[in-house]
Structure 1
Amino acid sequence: MMFLSTAALAGLLLSLSGFEAIVHLTQEKIMNVNVGQDVKILCRRDDSGSWSISWYQQKAGETPKFVLADATRASGLSSRFTYTDNGLDEYLNIARVEAEDEAVYYCGCIICDNHHSAAKQCAVPRFLYEAVTQWHGSIGGGTELKIARGSSPPSLLLLAPSGSLLSESDVSVMCVAQGFYPEGVTMSWSEDSSSVTGDKVQTGPYQRQADGTFSQTSVLKLSKQRWSSGRTYTCRLSHSALSTPLSQSTSLDQCM
């Protein structure tokens, strides 16, 4: 779950006019922790100069967000987030880790507009997205903070159009699995007693939720005529946390 690789970040930075690396930053790739644990995320420099380090958080499916740098903190940042500087090693400290803290954390050393001695920090939107005339800095490879948790079984939701909402186009029957952990559900469809596969079934990727669990959606595409035939369509769901698979069925008659 490393959302922006070191290479990707380097490519982004180098695409900005005049970027040059001033210090190399090293981070651990993965940290596995438990809810309630105190965490220290390391950022190691290869230069003992007085560079100022800033920290960024990237949650699944989101862009990186500024966390803190020296005395500057993101608006609304929890007091559980602090930092310590120990020479070449700087740490982002997270006290009493919560499930919502699961993310990739990057350390960065960025100086804008040739102000080497001032160690002026760039705000994160500018750091990531706006072209400036001159950049000097470096970005760590990111530390993925993974929160350990027990298995959680999915719930199953089946959605189908009512008869009054039918149009001339195809009909979509949607099966949603949510609240499961770890990844690895199996979703399948049947029409009456026959399995349905192929291009009629469109299953999306896993989506990580704010609480650390996952969701996944599978859509069954049917012609209006087939849906109107009265056949019964069933979605079945298997997961390691389930002792028996879940299933739900629907038909046009049930949606009238």
Structure 2
Amino acid sequence: MPDVKLSELAAASAASAEAGAALWTMPGHILGLGMEYVGPSAIRVSSGSAWIPSLKRAIEVPSPITLNGLTLAAGTGYHLYLYRNGVVPAVEAVTTTPAAAYSGTARAKTGDPSRRYIGSFRTDAAGAIRPFVHCGSSGDVLFGGYTDFIVSNGLASVSTAVDCSSLIPVTGVLAKCLMGNGNTAVNVFYGTPIGGALTSANYIGPIPPNNNLSPDIPLSTSQQFLYKYENTATGTGLFVRVYGYKYER
């Protein structure tokens, strides 16, 4: 059988091109496409490529795409999607959340498989993009400054959920935390709801009295983790900031 070039397949028919593309690209494919904070109203996506579900093939982004002059709502989460605008790649920033994963951890925009999910960002109280750094190879997103306390002087002695969804998108799987136990007498435990309620035998780690810790904590599907004091604690309690997260795409 004679060799057939991929260019010849593409020239033969769109169906042949699609079949050829499937031979070297998987539906979950994504490469590059890192997010970059540019300024309060601008964000950039680096070059790369990704599979687009509706096209049933990958598209290439040969050079970075910058969204400038964005007018964004205050205190809101936005999601970046790659799509093909005619014959050129494009990126949009919208509040529509990603759908459930369609292949591995790969996601598309809810209700629109022509948009492939890239990542997420949030705005502050003035509608400006909150600074961040995206480490594309690891899936880490690190905030460019301290967040408000997500737990402030917490003293719960029963398993208590901490909701991180105001900072971490629906694709987030780990919270990067700065935790301080200000109590002088009692250990505080932290863990994930995945294994059920937090107990003295079911936790990820303790924070001893007057100690600090910077753990990565697995989150539930609703971006929550748990904490509780080992015994009744009075006075100063637990303080937690979230400085970043790990997400899947």
User: Which band: TM-score by shorter chain?
Assistant: 0.3 to 0.5
TM-score, structure 1 length as denominator? 0.32
Indicate the structure (1 or 2) with the bigger Cα radius of gyration. 1
